Amino acid sequence: MKKKDLSALLTLLAVVFFGCGAALLFSKSRREPISRSAFLLNTFVNITLYDSQDEAILDHCVDMCQEYENRFSKTIEGSELYKLNHRSADETTFTVSDDMAAMISEGLHYSEVSHGAYDLTIEPLSSLWNFTSDEHVIPAEDDITAAAERVNWKNVKLDGNTLTFLSPDTTIDLGSIAKGYIADRMKDYLTESGVESAIINLGGNVLCVGERTNHQPFRIGLQKPFADYATVFADLNIDDMSVVSSGVYERHFEKNGVNYHHLLNPKTGYPYQNGLVSVTIVSPRSVDGDVLSTTCFSMGLDKGLELINSMDGIYAYFITDDYKLIYSDGAEAFIDEIKEK
């Protein structure tokens, strides 16, 4: 394990992924990248192609995001997840789609690995708290306790595409999985379409396809904690990998001197207060980065670091609340530049 003290480093990606910045490095004879943005998945998404001028590919990527949102959103009536969570009390077993089975499998795996510090069935709590409202309301303690009692990943069983709920009170939240999974499927589509240089940015979940067209890695900007979105504190060199962060400054509010954020403890029902500000994961698959950033944050510094160091080809950066950077084995190699602020 390696430790470096820094006065505020990487956390939630503010993707200064150099879409335009990287273009400045290209020779004038090369074509400018093309990109498409949209508000989907409850966030701003952006896809940039560096080696293709095919607008139809971008159109299809946006359509893919919309289709997946319609299928996996927990709030859109008629979605596959909405139907699962709003089943009748006597419905226990369902045949789910391949995509749903894959995501639930990921969630159950990390729920088990973390011994429930991360829990796929956090939905009763995540729906109780509202971190987007300007009212900054802390739910009633009795409501939090009641919701927490409904959270238990062991009440979900998956056998192939057969999903079984062992309790009528159990509901699922894919918020820590879906964007990473969707990004991976979009990358599959891009590579099948012949794209070899692109960036998929789903609201800060960044997945690089290949490298820049000048045969250099992409530089991914990492936002300074609690700073303006465009304030970049460090750059990582990323080649054909994903970068995802989870932090206490993403969806949060402060009340009576306490920062309440969206990373909830399934046992207590309240936001984790474990000395961490954020966790950033670099991984080949975005779905791993998505779920692991939440899982490792939930497990805390020591156990989260131990988990990452036990995995091949996956790297992590932990930022403590006194702005110390602690990174996993091999993670230092990705740091291109630290910009003191």
Please report which confidence band the pLDDT of residue 196 belongs to, taking 50, 70 and 90 as the band edges.
very high
Residue 86 DSSP label: T
- Fold category of 2-69+177-338 in CATH: T-fold (3.10.520)
Query: pLDDT digits over 281-326, tens only?
Result: 999 999 999 999 999 999 999 999 999 999 999 999 998 988 888 9
User: CA 154, CA 247: separation in Å to the nearest integer?
Assistant: 26
Residue 271 DSSP label: B
Q: For the chain, give every domain's residue range.
A: 2-69+177-338, 76-165
| pTM, full prediction | 0.88
Q: Compute how many other C-beta atoms are within 10 angstroms of the C-beta atom of residue 123.
A: 21
176 is in an annotated binding site: yes
Angle between helices 178-192 and 286-299 (to 10 degrees): 160
| CB distance 144 to 173 below 8 Å | no
What sign does the dihedral 80-86-88-90 (CA atoms) show? positive
Arithmetic mean of pLDDT, 71-88: 96
134 is in an annotated binding site: no
Give me the pLDDT at residue 257, please: 81
| CATH architecture of the domain with residue range 76-165 | Orthogonal Bundle (1.10)
Which of 49-63, 231-245, 251-265 shows the lowest mean pLDDT across its residues? 251-265
The residue with tokens 């505020």 is 8
| CB distance 336 to 219 below 8 Å | yes
> Could you give the percent of the chain with pLDDT greater than 90?
72
Helix (H) / strand (E) containing 193: none
| CB distance 173 to 122 below 8 Å | yes
Average pLDDT for the chain: 87
Give me the pLDDT at residue 145, please: 97
User: CA 157, CA 180: separation in Å to the nearest integer?
Assistant: 22
37 is in an annotated binding site: no
- Helical ranges in the chain per DSSP H: 19-23, 55-72, 80-85, 98-113, 123-126, 141-149, 178-192, 286-299, 301-309
* Residue 69: both structure tokens together: 């949102």
pLDDT at 25 over 50: no
| CB distance 123 to 85 below 8 Å | yes
**Closest C-alpha to 292, from 156, 180, 186:** 180
User: CA 336, CA 221: separation in Å to the nearest integer?
Assistant: 10
**Closest C-alpha to 292, from 168, 68, 111, 66:** 111
Query: What are the beta bridge partners of residue 278?
Result: 247, 319
Which of 33-47, 202-216, 252-266 shows the lowest mean pLDDT across its residues? 252-266
User: CA 95, CA 288: separation in Å to the nearest integer?
Assistant: 24
Range 63-70, long-range pairs (CB < 8 A, 24+ positions):
64/182, 64/185, 64/186, 64/189, 65/38, 65/40, 65/41, 65/182, 65/186, 65/202, 66/40, 68/41, 68/99, 68/178, 68/182, 68/185, 69/40, 69/41
pLDDT at 233 over 90: no
Give me the pLDDT at residue 95, please: 98
